[in-house]
Amino acid sequence: MLERLRFYLLHAIRNMRRGGRWSTFAIFSIAAGVATVVALRSLGLAIGDSLLTNVRETNGGDIRVYTQAPFGAFDFGLQDSDVFSERDIERAEAWAQEHNASWTAYARALTLQVAKVDETTFGRPTFISSIFIDPQHYPIVGELVVEEPAGVPLSELLTGGYTIAISRNLADAQGIQVGDKVRVSRTEEPFTVVAIVPTFAEANLRNPFAAFFGFAYLSYESAPLLEIEYEPNEIAFVLPEGTPQQQIIEFGEELERLLRARATTAPEVLQQNEIAAQLIGDFIVVMGLGSLLIGGVGIMNTMLVMVRRRTNEIAAMKTFGMKGKQIAMMFFVEALLLGLLGSILGSVIGVLLGGVVNTFGETFLNQNLVWRIYPEALAYGAVLGLVTTAIFGLSPVLTAVKVRPGIILRPNETHIPRLGAIQSLLTLVVMIIAMGLVVGQILSPSFSLIGGDISEMRRDRFDISFCVREQTEETVPVTIANESSYDIVAYTYNSNCERDQFTLIEPRNEVTFTSQTPAYWIVELAEGETDAPPARPINRVYVLPPSETTATDGATGGIRVPVSNSEVANVISLTRSLSSFTTPSPHLVGIIGVAVTMLVLFILIGLLWVLLWFVGKFPSFGSVNLRLALRNLSTQRLRTATTMLALSAGMFALSSITFVGEGVREFLQFQLSDAFGGNVLVFPIPGAVGDLQMGAVNSVLQDVPVRYRTRLSFDNLNVIAIDGQRIDRFDPMSNMGVQIRETDNPAASGGTVIAGRGLTPEDRGQPVMVLTWDEVTQASGVRLNSVLTVETNDGTQLDLQVIGFVQLNGGLGSGPSNNAFIPPDVLPPSDDGFSLFAFAVDSEHVNEALVQLSSVPFLFALDVGFIDSFIKRILDQFTAVPTVVGILGLVAAAVIMVNTMALATLERQRQIGILKAIGLKGGRILRIMLIEAAIISLLAAFLGIGLSSIIISIFTSVSGTPIPLPTNAQPIAIGLVIAAIVISWLATSLSAGVAIRERVM
């Protein structure tokens, strides 16, 4: 046995040495795939390390209690609904003393702007995440290291008054140094930058806003200077060392009930980060398997060519008595040896690429990643490389077995062994199953986590809710077919089904529904509240899975909640479908996924095969070189089509990411400016728009050149009747969003008029309206001169005549919902509407306008460019990993291109010899091959980039003006085409140079 293995190894080594550069290119093919896997797996592990370390610091403590959404409140300041009261602070302090915990309270908001100012210039105001802290007690856990001035505690620098500490990314973006003056919203007095702190002090995956735009620390004593009443909206607790994790979670739930707020605990964050790290890591590796697939194809192509060149050798060995299985084992060992060498080389390259790949991961995660060598990633890549080689080496091995001994008698004839249809099909099935099992094994940890998380959610805190807009005095009995027990939680909501009072009602009991006994949903008032029913009727109910407490028949003195049978049936049905959910087998999912992927790839390769055949028929226009290059395309079309697919896939990945990002930004820039009528937007607090505030806005802008001013008001109307015919209250037409535009901008428009006319200044105060020509309007039967009877929020009824229809230019306000435009002074004044102002300001004065507007209380201003930069940063974050995968895939495609051209020269040695024999020089032969390579690369580039262009054209066509190639993406497209040509020419030069220098004799 050992002797045979030794023979197989020696024979494989000898064949690899004889193969020379072709064996080398095969090794590099698999090395490119392994390098991709190792680099991406290292990235996933680095992300996991970043997410799983310093969890207490990331959470702000063992327990963080907050009254706002986890990402912060994007409101107009610190409102009553978003802060803790003095009584809450007293409760928190008492709880901390009782449990021997440290604590600190602070306020976080996202509506302050910071801009660098000096005597002559204004910086661009930037929205930041602002944290009002007690510098002596923040942070409550860990240490906040100040970058500038280094070594000085923040508590000594941030002393209140007009002092501020900013993050490194904010300082770099605006060129701010320690000691500079900055303007902060709500005041005209400048603040002095006393410190620059690291970005990662606040920026992370859970706080992307701080990572995008930066953040600032201010002392809580500075809040009155900004006309803000300091009231904390977050409280952090640190428990004594050694507190069990389960107890920390229970303490968090206790604080939620005590403070009537939400809480996150370090153990829960750790568990969530473990799941996120596993999912992200597995997803990244699966994305990189495409490069490994390309490497496997390179191994397979090389070995098939080698088998065809060694048919006489194989026939001779069979003649001398070697069995087919021995031939198979000999080539299989050679394939594994190629895979082993490729895996070793790829692992080294993957480690070296890790530092570069990590930079993309930092963009995605908004956290610093530490580069180091992960033995797990090396083993991961090596094993996958060997497995892939074994899978793709199966077809060449079976082809070698098909060689018959009799061909040794006809050595001058060409013999190309082929697999039969059944053998090819079985080989394909085995490859799909094997690759599917590999993918399934990679996904197994993620599936286990998902299954466990769903099981935990099913057992613990999965909430299902519905909202009843209209109340009836009678309680509707509820009958359930199967016996079920549910915890009942009821909250009060306003008429629009928006939360009005939080946790007024607590889960005090359970109700058992049976098929024999109709039951009501009964809830009790929260402990500590009055015994009287709430001011608003309870019209939303949360249904929770059964808890461990014993079910009861309800409690006396409760409130009966009217709901309909159909709504309850929907809730019960959704609950049961969740309870019956089981996680599918990851291996089955992997096999199905690989099978579908293979089917798509075969279809694409088939289409490219046809394309190559068609291109090969093109006229050569009298050029001999072009004629020979086109004829060469007709040989080995399957291999060439595979190479084109790999190259075009890389081109498509990179171009689509760029085109979509730039297309969305260009699309939004056009849409926002057109929709609002200006590039500087001012958002007042709802209800605060008045003569006094407008006077303040006009006052600060009196020295700023403003070309046009626009006021947009938005409200909702209930449509009661159309031409006297009442409509159902559930009709989509019954609820209509309206816009009232007052502007001196003649170019401002709500859309393109397609029937009738648009609004004019003379329509002010007239009972007319213009409707959007959308799906809802078309289905309603409304026509020109129709009269709509509408009701405002205060109950006023009006008859409005339709004088025109407009087609929205896509973007904002477009879609299936009906919208209307009404002249000013038609609707009665309302506090329920929303208004904003748009000013058309020349770009050189935008910074000045924004800085001046930021000093006006009760409003905030931004330019359209802020939305553009926000979208860009989001796109940069979420496309970071796909971008690096696309780049690595393009590198793998370049390697397979080199391998393809090398195999082509190997197969054409006889042709090259004949061309030289008839007088062609080596340089001309190389030019023919370069033309062939250029045709392949251009076809691949145009296919990949063209498909991206089609996708972005379809996406932007909703605006009425398709953008097939965004302006800022044009250099990228040109660069990708040039890169494709360079890759092909470099591949040809590397692989064909030796062949064309060979002598004829």
pLDDT over threshold 90, residue 192: yes
CA distances from 295 to 601, 697, 933 (A): 15, 64, 20
CA distances from 979 to 937, 988, 1001 (A): 9, 14, 38
Given pLDDT bands bounded at 50, 70 and 90, which one contains residue 685? low
Q: What is the DSSP string of 629-641?
A: HHHHHTSSHHHHH
Q: What is the pLDDT of residue 742?
A: 83
Cα(718)–Cα(735) distance, integer angstroms: 5
When comparing pLDDT for 652 and 80, which is higher? Answer: 652
When comparing pLDDT for 796 and 843, which is higher? Answer: 796
Contact between 792 and 735 (Cβ < 8 Å) = no
What average pLDDT does the segment 677-692 reach? 67
When comparing pLDDT for 43 and 865, which is higher? Answer: 43
Q: What is the pLDDT of residue 579?
A: 43
pLDDT over threshold 60, residue 542: no
Which percentage of the chain shows pLDDT scores above 70? 76
User: Of 271, 226, 266, 220, nearest to 107 (Cα)?
Assistant: 220
Cα(672)–Cα(678) distance, integer angstroms: 8
Q: What is the pLDDT of residue 549?
A: 30
DSSP lists the bridge partners of residue 523 as: 559
Q: At which residue do the structure tokens 């060995």 appear?
A: 317
pLDDT over threshold 60, residue 480: no
Pick the range with the lowest mean pLDDT from 447-451, 460-464, 837-841, 984-988. Answer: 460-464
Q: What is the pLDDT of residue 236?
A: 93
Pick the range with the lowest mean pLDDT from 12-26, 340-354, 583-597. Answer: 12-26
When comparing pLDDT for 712 and 134, which is higher? Answer: 134
Cα(112)–Cα(164) distance, integer angstroms: 13
Given pLDDT bands bounded at 50, 70 and 90, which one contains residue 578? very low
Q: At which residue do the structure tokens 């061909």 appear?
A: 407
Amino acid at 560: R
Domain boundaries, the chain: 1-55+279-416, 469-563, 618-677+862-1001, 706-841
Cα(149)–Cα(145) distance, integer angstroms: 10
Given pLDDT bands bounded at 50, 70 and 90, which one contains residue 795? confident
416-450 pLDDT, tens digit each = 666 767 777 888 888 888 888 888 888 888 777 76
Given pLDDT bands bounded at 50, 70 and 90, which one contains residue 370? confident
Q: What is the pLDDT of residue 548?
A: 30
Q: What is the pLDDT of residue 95?
A: 94
Q: What is the pLDDT of residue 638?
A: 82
Q: What is the pLDDT of residue 401?
A: 80
396-406 pLDDT, tens digit each = 888 878 777 77
User: Of 646, 656, 632, 655, nearest to 604 (Cα)?
Assistant: 646
295-348 pLDDT, tens digit each = 788 778 777 777 777 777 788 888 878 888 888 888 888 888 888 998 999 999
651-669 pLDDT, tens digit each = 888 888 888 777 777 766 6
Q: What is the pLDDT of residue 44?
A: 87
Q: What is the pLDDT of residue 833?
A: 63
Sign of the torsion angle spanned by Cα atoms 736, 737, 742, 743? negative
Q: Which tokens is 374 given?
A: 């992960």
Q: What is the pLDDT of residue 388?
A: 85
Q: Which of 453-462, 772-781, 866-875 has the highest mean pLDDT?
A: 772-781
pLDDT over threshold 80, residue 508: no
Name the pairing type of β-strands 484-493 and 538-544. Answer: antiparallel
Contacts of residues 421-424 at CB distance under 8 Å and 24 or more positions apart, as own/partner, are 423/398, 424/395
Given pLDDT bands bounded at 50, 70 and 90, which one contains residue 489? very low
149-164 pLDDT, tens digit each = 888 888 888 988 899 9
Q: Which of 291-295, 747-751, 917-921 has the highest mean pLDDT?
A: 291-295
599-617 pLDDT, tens digit each = 888 898 889 888 888 888 8
